[in-house]
Each structure stands twice: as structure tokens, then as C-alpha cells.
Amino acid sequence: METNGQNRIKQLYNESSRQILATLIRLLGDFDLAEECMHESFAVALKQWPEQGIPENPVAWLISTGRFKGIDQLRRKGRIIASENLDADISITTSVNLNDQQIRDDQLRLIFTCCHPSLSVEAQLALTLREVCGLTTEEIAQAFISKPATIAQRIVRAKNKIQKNNIPYEIPEAAQINERLRVVLQVIYLVFNEGYTSSTDTSHDQYHLTDVAVRLARKVVDLLPAAEAKGLLALMLLQDSRKRARVDENGDLVTLENQDRSQWNSLQIAEGCSLTLEALSQEEFGTYTLQAAIAAVHAEAPSSETTDWCQIEGLYEVLLRHEPSPVIELNYGVATAMCKGYEIGLEKIEAILARGELQNYRYAHAAKADLLRRLGKKKEAARSYRRALELTLQKKEKRYLEKRIAELSSNEKN
């Protein structure tokens, strides 16, 4: 019986501690106090539940217990410094609202506050991972190859800024919500990319940041089913679906073209594709949804030869209109090459390179090299691969480019 209670509490902690924290922050008006009281309420549960049984609504029980602990603390502090915490006193007297919608809204309040635009991106990341995702300072430090003390300080400063600047614990109003959601999604995608780019790098173990990002995006989609939130979740699922195929047994990168598609995760692909369609059917879809749509076209092709490059080219054209950028233009050029012919694509890419913005962008030279290789212009291709190699620091990418250069010169001798 006792272990049953303890297991249930452990499970509740994993599933609901963030939710409880989010509501306690609203009720107590203070991040640190809320966290302390959340832990205290779980401690009380560990003591009481095995004897008295599990309450009917355990989450509500944990929230009210935490709230009482908090009020108690504020009262005690009130005796020491009489005039402080006036605001908190007012919120104590108001009755506690614990309906499901409020609890859901509190989670959104927490997410939007952690991703407030007046906090630095680093602070948004650290705060979101700690408060919303429940990672420890040590785990965050490990994931971002930083010291726990640095991360801890960043979180303290961010909480300080929230308090000093009176950043409200609110869901943004309708007029602001799209812009504010953009910041939230940017934080989630940064977490994902941090996990994704370093997951091929064996030098340090990742704290599954890609999974953390996907879970967080799911939560946002559940709480606020906006098109771009769905689009981002879809994009991450589709990218993550190729995880096993994009590195070979030697740890070398495998390009999309050469990946073993049977290694792709079909469940993630199915979910990613259906989310993409859902997002596209909503009015306000944007760049994440369009990128997801491109990834979906790749994912649905049984082989690289059967990829519908012309559809991809069309999607890039729309994406470029949404977000004019030379990198997207480069990808658009590659899609044109695959749809309409290497020569036409090469012309486009050379024109982009001639403008200068991507002169030091390794993928631009690698893309040019790739098309030259396909056109049989080996010497020129090798020259462009070498330029890309000069600009690359990542070991895996270097090995990939060196292999390509070696292939070209051995073919030349034959």
C-alpha cells in the first residue's frame, strides 16, 4: 500500500509538478516561493497519503496545500517586515480559483512569462527549460556546455528582472499573441536545434533536448492550437524522424539523398504530415508550417529519385515570400535545379554567390559543388568543395567534404 502511494506521488510529480508550479506562481506572486511551496506540498503528500489515502483530486489538493504553505510563509515574513508583500497579501484574500481552464491558462502564463521579449534569449532558454520543462540547472548546463553556476545566475537574474520590471503573469492579449507566440516558438526551436546539431557530435552527451523541445511544443499546441505551433511541432517531428539514418556506423554524415529510408521513423512522419495539413488549413500559417510542408514532401517520397522536387520548389517560393533571406533563396535554387535542371539551378546559385552575402557560407559552396559534380564538371566541383571545406569547422562535415573531393580526383584518374 505504501509503495503504491509513493509511486502515485512520483508519477504525479513527473506529470503535474509544472502545472502545480504554474498555478502557485499566480496564487503566490513569486517564482521562488511557489517552487519552495510546491516541493513542500509534495513532502506533505508523501507523509499523509499513505496513511489517509489519496485525495479525490490530487492536483487540486497539492495546489491548495502549497498555497497554504505559501501564505504561512508570507505571514511569518510579514511579522518581520510589516509593509512588504502588500500585493501578495491582497492575492491571499481573494478566493482560490482552481477550475481546469484556470490551471490550463496558468501553464500558458508561465510559458509566456519565461519567454517574455524583454528577457535575453539565453535567459528565456534557461528559464523555460527550468520552470516549464522541469530540467535541473545541472542538466541545462550540461546541454549547453556551460557551468551550472552560470546557468543558475542567469535564472536568478531573469527572475529578478521579471519582478523588478513588473513583467505580468499573463497570457498576452489578442493583438499581441501572435508576436509573443513567435518568441515562444523561437525558444522551442532553439532548444531543438541545440539537441539536433550536437546529437551527431559524440563529444558530449545530450540531455535529449530534441525530446524536451517536442514535448514542450506538444504542450503549446494543446494549450494554444495556433497554426504555427502545429507547424513547428510537425517540422521537429519530421526532422527528428531521420535521426537514425543521418549518421552511418562510422559516425559520418549521410545526406538526405543517400539515407536508408527504412530507418526513418514512420510514426513521427505520419504525425508530422497530418499536423502539417492541419496547420496549412488554418489561416495564419507561416514559415514553420511551410518548412514542415517541405520536410513532409521529402518524408513521403519512398526514394530520393521519386521526390516531388517541383512541389518543393513551389513551397520554397512561398517561403521566400514569407521570409526573404539569402539562405532560403539558396535552398530554392537547389530545388529549382532538381525540378527544372541542374544548369538553371546552378545559374541561380551562382547569382546568389555573386551578390556576396553568402560568400562565406559553406553550404552555398557545397551546393554549387554538388550541382557541378552532377553536371560532370569535376575540376570546378572539386574547387567549390575545397572552398566549402575551408569554411567548415565541424569534424563530421569536414570528413564528408574530403570524401567527396577524393571521389572526384579518383574518378578523374580513371
Partner 1 sequence: MKYLALVFYQEKIMAEMSQPQWDELNQECMQCVERLRKQSHFIDGNALESIETATTVRVRDGNVTVTDGPFAETKEQLAGYYLLDARDMNEAIQLAAKIPPARYGGVELRPVRELRLNDNSAGGKGKS
Under the rule (CB under 8 A), what is the footprint of partner 1?
Answer: 116-118, 164-168, 170, 172, 176
Q: Are 36 and 74 in contact (CB under 8 A)?
A: no
Q: Please report how close the Cβ of residue 275 comes to partner 1 at its closest, in angstroms.
A: 30
User: Which is nearest to 115 in space by CA: 48, 175, 187?
Assistant: 187
3-state secondary structure of 197: helix
Q: Please report how close the Cβ of residue 103 comes to partner 1 at its closest, in angstroms.
A: 22
3-state secondary structure of 55: coil
CA 78 to CA 72: how far, in whole Å?
10
Q: Please report how close the Cβ of residue 121 comes to partner 1 at its closest, in angstroms.
A: 17
Q: Please report how close the Cβ of residue 406 comes to partner 1 at its closest, in angstroms.
A: 48
Q: Which cell is 297 given?
A: 514532401
Distances (CA, A) of 324 to 29, 190, 208, 303, 361: 42, 20, 32, 30, 17
The per-residue b/e assignment along 134-164, b for 16 or more CB within 10 angstroms, e otherwise, is ebebebbbbbbeeeeeebbebbebbbebbee
What are the residues whose beta carbons fall under 8 Å from the beta carbon of 233, sequence distance 6 or more?
A: 214, 217, 218, 220, 221, 272, 275
Q: Which cell is 199 given?
A: 546529437
Q: Which is nearer to partner 1, 179 or 201 (CB)?
A: 179
Backbone angles phi and psi of 247, in degrees to 5: -130, 135
The per-residue b/e assignment along 180-189, b for 16 or more CB within 10 angstroms, e otherwise, is bbbbbbbbbb
What region does 53 belong to: left with phi over 0, alpha with psi -120 to 50, or beta? Answer: left
Q: Which is nearer to partner 1, 26 or 116 (CB)?
A: 116
Distances (CA, A) of 107 to 49, 61, 101: 26, 18, 10
- In order, the DSSP letters of 11-36 are HHHHHHHHHHHHHHHHHHS-HHHHHH
Q: Please report how close the Cβ of residue 170 comes to partner 1 at its closest, in angstroms.
A: 7
What region does 172 belong to: left with phi over 0, alpha with psi -120 to 50, or beta? Answer: beta
Q: Please report how close the Cβ of residue 74 comes to partner 1 at its closest, in angstroms.
A: 17
Q: Please report how close the Cβ of residue 180 comes to partner 1 at its closest, in angstroms.
A: 9
Q: Which is nearer to partner 1, 165 or 281 (CB)?
A: 165
Q: Which is nearer to partner 1, 82 or 354 (CB)?
A: 82
Q: Which is nearer to partner 1, 117 or 148 (CB)?
A: 117
Q: Please report how close the Cβ of residue 176 comes to partner 1 at its closest, in angstroms.
A: 8
Helices (H), 209-265: 209-223, 227-240
Q: Which is nearer to partner 1, 117 or 326 (CB)?
A: 117
CA 138 to CA 149: how far, in whole Å?
9
Q: Please report how close the Cβ of residue 381 comes to partner 1 at its closest, in angstroms.
A: 44
Q: Which is nearer to partner 1, 36 or 170 (CB)?
A: 170
Q: Which is nearer to partner 1, 56 or 173 (CB)?
A: 173
Q: Which is nearer to partner 1, 69 or 116 (CB)?
A: 116
Q: Please report how close the Cβ of residue 95 comes to partner 1 at its closest, in angstroms.
A: 23
Q: Please report how close the Cβ of residue 166 comes to partner 1 at its closest, in angstroms.
A: 5
Q: Which is nearer to partner 1, 159 or 298 (CB)?
A: 159
Q: Which is nearer to partner 1, 87 or 248 (CB)?
A: 87
Q: Are 256 and 243 in contact (CB under 8 A)?
A: no
